[in-house]
A = this chain, B = another copy of it.
Amino acid sequence: MPKIVIKPYNRIIKCKTGDLLSHVIKKAIPNFPTPCGNRGFCGKCLVRVLEGKLSEVTGNERLHNLKTGERLSCQAKVLSDLVIEIPVFEQYRALISGYEPKVDVITPILEKKIVEVKYSTYHKPIPVDKILLKSIDAEGFTGKCIGNLVYAKNFSRITICKRGKNVTHILNGYKKIYGFAVDIGTSKIATYLVDLDNGETISEIYIPNPQTKYGDDVISRITAVINDKNTLYEMNRMTLSSIEKMIKEMAKKNNIEIKNILAGVIVGNTVMISIFLGLNPEPIGRSPYIPYLSTKIEDYGDRFSFNLLRDAWIYIPPAITGFIGADAIADIVTTLMIEDINKNILIIDIGTNSEVALIRNGEIFVASAPAGPAIEGEQISCGVKSFNGAIYRVRIEKDGVNFLLYGETPLGLCGSGIISLVSEMLRKNIISKNGRFYGDKSFFEIVSKDKSSTGKPITITQRDLREIQKAKAAISSTWSLLLMKNDLSVNDIDRCYICGSFGSSLDLEDAINIGLIPKMPLEKIFVLGNAAGIGAKLMLISEKARKISEEIVSKAKFIELASDKNFMNTWIRNLNFP
């Protein structure tokens, strides 16, 4: 068994001869990036080999002009003991909190009742199961909970819960009950632990989505399933156990017993939800781009293959289409828990898959913008995730470039940093409105090679700019077409909500300056943070939120822009900066 030493972490891991090096590294460093799904395209998984032997260099590696000792770990197989060096990629930063609308009345997905069982043993007593049904106004029991009826002895005190007309849980004694909300993002999974008795969030936590092993975007994940059916099962298991691990960790830290965590709401885009359900996501990847299941679904955890959470009641809100999943629904739910549906409201969730919703006089229109990963800094030469070393704000002064970064030594620009940089280059006339460098420049250097942690300068190239323009055009065309189709101008919008971990990390002025979001007074723009996760929490604790989610789906009109005759023209026009 070859032994691999990974520097600078000095992690040591054993593997089998022939194992793919990127898989081995990921076992030790889970956030090691393989955004293109081990296909040798992106070059992000570059490592320096200090000692040992790997398989032959592939054609794809040759495209990357590797220096001596450098290899793409997604192409190289382990043939001996190795000492390698990888860039410093720490756990990346993601925003999982957000603005939480006030919920006046807590109506958790499970209604709870404390019952003091007491019946006469004489004349015609009420059977104990009838006492329970009456106390919580239920009609029956699920097959799963009847075993616990034995707790309902005479003079006992028990806690019961119902969902709909059925009693779902019978607990011995007076118990506090808990729930959880999960937002399965393509790149991260955020989990929240909630006190169902008062609706308060006890703890929140996130991890990188372990599915990134099979690629950074949903298309890579679908491709991985097409290539090997077992991948679906593996991604499903990874996702479930990650969620359980997070909940276990939060429960332990807060002295909460897992068996008192009785409910959960799970949101995510349709590919994430399909993988969570163990349903093949393939149909989402081809016309008509529709998942097997778009209806709301709820049942016990074991029906979704949870183990630790097998007894928890799980609720997954519906999706509208393959592009507008339960996460987008959760965004709109959060907004509508704040806003009046009769105003003109624009909701924009910016990311690799961006969603835009327009609410107008009680009507809801939704559209999807396949912005691509460039908007989040992927496939950009100097782009990195928001690990330590990521630059997230840029200001170009006369005496040089100032920037804000995570950690100490710059490694690259994360998505918000790139948008900040582009905006600043526009302001300082380094690039024109059509995205060209003025003069004969073909790149702009932000950090020189001696100050960069990689030993290479951090620059933005003309090609990078083009990628950003395309992504930006996809998003701005989507909201501007939605407005146009409704005879609305930006001035008619009462409020604009920016959702999502990425969108919420942007500098609004930068985003307006490059035309990513509509130009309107900042006081009309509300940044919600991870509105999908918040929406999941709201659905966990509020009947109103759940009703809204189902109403959205029945009301919302999905506007398919890809087939709209105006889309291409609008997109071309929007390639330019404002």
A contact set with B: CB distance below 8 Å: 119-125, 127-130, 133, 140-144, 146-147, 149-150, 152, 277-280, 283, 287-288, 290-300, 303-304, 314, 321, 558, 560, 563
Contacts and interface: CB of A to CB of B under 8 A. Distances in A.
Contact of A129 (B128, B280, B294): B294
Contacts of A150: 279-280, 292
A314 B143 contact: yes
Nearest to A149: B292
A204 B330 CA distance: 53
Contacts of A299: 142-144
A63 B152 CA distance: 43
A36 to B, nearest CB: 27
Contacts of A120: 288
- Each complex incorporates copies of this chain amounting to 2
A123 B121 CA distance: 67
Contacts of A133: 295
15 contacts: A124-B560, A125-B290, A127-B290, A127-B291, A127-B321, A128-B292, A129-B295, A140-B295, A142-B299, A142-B303, A146-B292, A149-B279, A149-B292, A149-B293, A150-B280
The 10 lowest CB-CB distance pairs between A and B, nearest first, are A143-B299, A143-B303, A149-B292, A125-B288, A127-B290, A127-B294, A121-B287, A121-B288, A129-B293, A129-B295
Q: Which of A130, A147, A293 has the most CB of B within 10 A?
A: A293
A370 B70 CA distance: 88
A529 B193 CA distance: 58
A314 B128 CA distance: 23
A277 B146 contact: yes
Among A130, A143, A287, A297, max chain B CB count under 10 A is at A143
A300 B143 contact: yes
A169 to B, nearest CB: 14
A563 B288 contact: no
A279 B146 contact: yes
A130 B292 contact: no
A322 to B, nearest CB: 9
Contacts of A294: 127, 129-130
A365 to B, nearest CB: 14
B278 A140 contact: no
Contacts of A119: 288
B127 A303 contact: no
Given A128-B283, A130-B295, 14 more contacts: A122-B287, A124-B288, A127-B290, A127-B321, A129-B293, A129-B295, A140-B296, A141-B293, A142-B299, A143-B299, A143-B303, A143-B304, A146-B297, A150-B279
A19 B401 CA distance: 90
Interface centre among A291, A295, A560, A563 (most CB of B within 10 A): A295
A128 B290 contact: yes
B143 A297 contact: yes
A558 B368 CA distance: 63
Contacts of A279: 146-147, 149-150
A127 B558 CA distance: 13
